[in-house]
A and B are shown apart, each in its own frame.
Chain A
Amino acid sequence: MNSSNKIGRRRVGGDQVLKGLVAAAAVSIVLLLIALGVELINGSYQSLTTFGFPFLYSTTWDPNHNIFGALPFIYGTLVTSAIALLIGLPVSLGVAIFLSEKAKGHRFVGYVLGSLVELLAAVPSVIFGLWGLFVLSPNLKTYVEGPIHDYLGFLPIFSTTPIGLDYFVTGIILAIMIIPTVAAVSRDVLNAVPNSQREAMYSLGATHWEVIRKSVLPYARSGIFGATILGLGRAVGETMAVTFVIGNSTAISPSLFAQGYTLSALIVNQVAETSTPLNASAIVEIALILFGLALVINIFARLFVVRLTRGTRFRA
């Protein structure tokens, strides 16, 4: 009795230490986020007060004359991320469905392919950037963009003569970079779909494709959406690879084959060479916009996921 009591007391002490440690870890994340926001606002204060709201929609970025506007970079970030999702999402879903539904009986194939997808996620982005610049960009220019421009050049979105450094190539690189993330998470989500869901459909005489389309995917949609947002987050914030292939031009063009700029590329290009305090402040404001954009995407995604899961629960 006595000894077991002692052990019990000691356990409680250990529990409390552990509780304190994990609570401190959890709180530190919140504090870090707040500190980050405060520091960004603090650092961009001069730019915020000098340019105000028009900073968001003015198009000139001239450090030599102290004129700063963020529109080309916001536009470029949104366009390239949209292309990345448009191309990356269907491919990722295909990979995930193959791994979870089709390769199920073939453990080895699933294991090798699954590992390779995860390995792709571990490739440093600067390698994608160099590969993009020296391999992907010239090949896409010659074999994809060139023919598209020749036949569909009358459309405004293909009107620029392609040089291989543009929104389109950047979108492709970003798609390749988000595919492993989206595919790996989606696969786990699909694997988590209870077999009863599938079996019920099969018992009704559904084909494999009908099972996936009408039972598995709807059940997993909130998880897939979450995976997509993870991918979008990476696409929006990706820096190094983008800087190599975006073309870094502050002109805004409707053509996907034109050179552009993104928020993250601007930061990495110019943060080391700021000539005035206002210039440094404007770059921090660009970082603030990027931070805000990422927050908005995440909050929006959370709300959407909550709404979707509620829908699923009603259906279940």
Chain B
Amino acid sequence: MNFNKTGTSGTIIGLVVVLIVVVVAAGAYVALNGSGSTTTITQTSVSTSVSTQTSVSTSVSTQTSTQTSIQTSTSTVTSTQTSTSALLPAATVSGAGGTLVFPLMSTWLYTFSQLQPNVQVNYASVGSGAGITDITKGTVNFGESDAPLTAAQYSALPAGSTLLTIPISASGVVPAYNIPGLSATTHLNFTGDVLAKIFLGQITVWNDPAIAALNPKITLPTNPILVIHRSDGSGTMYAFTNYLSDSNAQWKSQVGTSTTPNWPVGTGCKGNEGVAGCIENNQYSLGPLEVAYVLTNSNLIGVSINYGTVQNHAGNFILATLADITLAMQAGVSRGASVPQGSTPWTGWSIVNNIYNDTTDTGIYPITTFTYALIYENLSASYTGLTSQAQATATVSFLWYCVNQGQAAGANIGYAALPANVVTSDKATLSLATYNGATLLTGS
């Protein structure tokens, strides 16, 4: 009896579940179809807003009327079109790489899907090393890395292939600390050499004469410095150790530049948030932090965390802002070692190195680093993992969107916009990408 009862109720529950699934599926189908056409209209209006100012008001005010929208879109097609605003054919693009760019990349994925509803872009935030491995094996359409490929990584690429390196965003690294009793507006001064000595374990207390000399007006505590760093491999640490290597010979020979350095001293905390947490939890701590954290958590500044200035080669102590980071990018690509063009390897190239000895600009922030997208030059080759021209076009269009229109999205979440000279050189690099010999990036 009891068994039988359970059987009946089980059947009823099963039927209900099936019913719910059917209803949900039907609803989703209707919704998708509905939103599909709506998005097309929205898309048209957005692309119009890119090309001409007047048609924006037309399309926005008449968005409900399908007839007008179609007319508008026709007029858009006849007018001069940018390659990104044309509706691309259906394609799925996958990318994988660094975590530094992930918050910004998430924004790009969303805004690009609004512009190009037929294109589905996925990004796996797996780490720079894994991003390079994935593009090497052709399991993704584009890779992403916070550091340029090493010579060993270049030699592991498929035979006959050429990998293009495209800077898509940039970040800065700030020395963040937690010293009770200092006001929010008091920012300690640091130099690369002093930071290197702290992270080598040579400077161990806050009132060390070397730190005191940089901060003559501040009464420094006598407490030991609790050194914090990232435990996971990261582009932030690559930029930071790169700067320490340029500033201190012992750091360069003993530790060097690496995403996973062998830290002589200190406590490793997981992720940028982890480093921030470790600093906030521990008084008298000091650690390298992505600038995005301190810019987007301004309510915490002076409460449980603060960040210091870093001296650039012109001798000025710069408190990191997005403007200073953009200045550093601009200087980084126009001075020092020239930006590698086309298939030239980027190994060892960095903004930090290029601006380290530069005294021309007085306002540049010295610990600035690019994060790079990676695609093959010949996208019709078998090793790329791409299966169609539509996919190749979508990949190039997405990256051009990131470099160009997408830059504005960074300001709110702590990413500096690429300066015009970097956008221009990125465009030249993206124009090299071909499918069956034809250039994919066209138009303005």
Contacts and interface: CB of A to CB of B under 8 A. Distances in A.
Interface of A: 60-65, 129, 133-134, 137-138, 141, 163-165, 243-244, 247-250, 259, 261, 265, 268-277
Given A270-B260, A275-B150, A163 B226 contact: yes
A141 B256 CA distance: 33
Chain B contact residues: helix, strand, loop or mixed: loop
Interface in B219-259: 226, 231-234, 255-259
Given A248-B268, A272-B130, A274-B129, A134 B260 contact: no
B267 interface: yes
A64 B269 contact: no
Contact of B282 (A61, A65, A163): A163
A275 B136 CA distance: 13
Q: Report, nearest first, the 5 A-B pairs whose CB atoms are least far apart.
A: A273-B233, A272-B127, A248-B268, A248-B231, A62-B262
Nearest to A272: B127
A138 B178 CA distance: 14
Contacts of A164: 281-282
B96 to A, nearest CB: 10
A259 B267 contact: yes
A164 B153 CA distance: 38
Contact of B274 (A61, A244, A271, A277): A244
Contacts, number: 103
Contact of A273 (B128, B152, B156, B269): B128
Contacts of B128: 272-273
B255 A247 contact: no
Contacts of B255: 64
Contacts of A64: 255-258, 260-262
B137 interface: no
B281 A248 contact: no
Given A273-B129, A274-B129, 4 more contacts: A133-B269, A243-B270, A273-B127, A275-B150
A265 B231 contact: yes
A248 B261 contact: no
A269 B256 contact: no
B303 interface: no
A138 B280 CA distance: 10
A97 to B, nearest CB: 33
Contacts of B127: 271-273
B36 interface: no
A244 B263 CA distance: 17
A163 to B, nearest CB: 5
A282 to B, nearest CB: 11
27 contacts: A63-B258, A63-B260, A64-B255, A64-B260, A65-B256, A65-B262, A133-B277, A138-B281, A163-B281, A164-B281, A164-B282, A165-B269, A243-B270, A248-B268, A249-B267, A249-B268, A250-B262, A269-B232, A269-B270, A272-B126, A273-B127, A273-B128, A273-B234, A273-B260, A274-B129, A274-B133, A275-B258
A138 B304 CA distance: 13
Contact of A63 (B262, B268, B277, B282): B262
A66 to B, nearest CB: 10
Contacts of A248: 231, 267-270
Contacts of B277: 133-134
A141 B261 CA distance: 28
Contacts of B269: 133, 165, 244, 247-248
Contacts of B226: 163
B278 interface: yes
A164 B228 CA distance: 13
Question: Which interface residue of B152, B226, B261, B270 has the most chain A CB atoms within 10 A?
Answer: B270
Contact of B262 (A60, A265, A275): A60
A167 B152 CA distance: 37
B262 A249 contact: no
B266 interface: yes
B259 A275 contact: yes
A273 B153 contact: no
B56 to A, nearest CB: 43
Given A62-B262, A137-B281, A275 B153 contact: yes
Contacts of B129: 272-275
Contacts of A272: 126-130, 232-233
A244 B262 contact: no
Contact of B259 (A247, A250, A273): A273
A64 B281 CA distance: 30
Nearest to B130: A272
Given A272-B127, A275-B153, A61 B262 contact: yes
Contacts of A60: 262
Contacts of A61: 262
A64 B256 CA distance: 7
Contacts of B256: 64-65
Contacts of B262: 60-65, 250
A250 B256 CA distance: 17
A141 B156 CA distance: 47
A274 B260 CA distance: 8
A134 B130 CA distance: 29
Interface in B128-150: 128-130, 133, 150
Contacts of B233: 269-270, 272-274
B153 to A, nearest CB: 7
Contacts of A273: 127-130, 232-234, 259-260
Contacts of A243: 231-232, 270
A276 B152 contact: yes
A137 B266 CA distance: 17
